[in-house]
Amino acid sequence: MSFEEINSVSCEFFDSHAHYYDERFFGEENPEGAEALLSTLFERGLLGVVNVSASYADALKVIEQAKHFERVYAAVGVHPEELENGGLGYIEQIERIRALAQSRDENKIAAIGEIGLDYYWRQDNKAAQADCFVRQLELACEIGLPVIIHDREAHGDCFETVLCYPEARGVFHSYSGSADMARELIKRGWYISFSGVVSFKNAVKIKEVAAVVPDDRILIETDAPYLAPHPFRGSLNHSGRLFYTASALADARGTTVDNISAITYRNAKSLFGI
């Protein structure tokens, strides 16, 4: 990772969704490792990161990194693509995550996530995905934590499912649904988070959504190492590139990058209780 690139734009954003334990942060694209990169980003003004797990094994990693950095927080949950992981089924993984969440302060757990439905990769296990999703929505409601929702090509079912839990709070991460669905979610207290996708030239629909989300419900994220914004599309993403996503959001909303930084930081603190 080049320091020159990180020094060229502001890093003063709160990244509501990243995966800093991913092996790409320890490979040839970033030979110094995730911790060196995060240290540099925090020196440059990064406001905070929610480090999001996809399985029980990842949950242990996000907690370890959260304990290492004052402004890194953990989200623990089983992603719909990880119903089986490390020899554990999702029911066992959720039970172990429940045990971690019982020490939520010590483990710096800010949310249950990412959880949800993914019909892009698989549609043959919809019932198991749904069961995994609702068990974790119930866990989040029981212990009073917000949730981070992964919804890929499953908008209708994700929407119907969260409506069954009116007491649940949380965010639809890297939102890809319609403006109408966003309005309905916002009415019910949900937050909408935008990734680098909003900066892509062909992202017409998502720019429309970005224009209608009210100031008090918008979040910004990298989904690092994935979804690098234009002009870095396809390369290793990191929180030092939120500026480019914020610029696209500012254009869509007719405001400034500084305003996007301020409102998304305030909303992250409010949602995640930090």
Residues that bind Zn ion (CB under 5 A): 223
Q: Which is nearer to Zn ion, 184 or 232 (CB)?
A: 232
DSSP string, 24-45: GGGSTTSTT-HHHHHHHHHHTT
Smallest separation, CB 213 to Zn ion (Å) = 19
Q: Which is nearer to Zn ion, 257 or 268 (CB)?
A: 268
Residue 144 is encoded by which pair of tokens? 């009073």
Q: Which is nearer to Zn ion, 58 or 209 (CB)?
A: 58
User: 50 near 272, Cβ under 8 Å?
Assistant: yes
Smallest separation, CB 109 to Zn ion (Å) = 16
Smallest separation, CB 58 to Zn ion (Å) = 10
User: 138 near 131, Cβ under 8 Å?
Assistant: no
Smallest separation, CB 175 to Zn ion (Å) = 12
User: 149 near 117, Cβ under 8 Å?
Assistant: no
Single out the residue of 205, 184, 4 nearest to residue 194, CA to CA. Answer: 205
What phi and psi values does residue 152 have, to the nearest 5 degrees?
A: -120, 115
Q: Which is nearer to Zn ion, 58 or 69 (CB)?
A: 58
Task: For residue 15, give the amino acid letter.
Answer: D
Smallest separation, CB 168 to Zn ion (Å) = 19
Smallest separation, CB 115 to Zn ion (Å) = 11
Q: Which is nearer to Zn ion, 3 or 121 (CB)?
A: 121
Q: Which is nearer to Zn ion, 82 or 223 (CB)?
A: 223
Helix (H) or strand (E) run with residue 129 in it: helix 126-143
Cα-Cα-Cα-Cα torsion 238, 226, 222, 104, nearest 10 degrees, comes to -90
Residue 30 is encoded by which pair of tokens? 């970033």
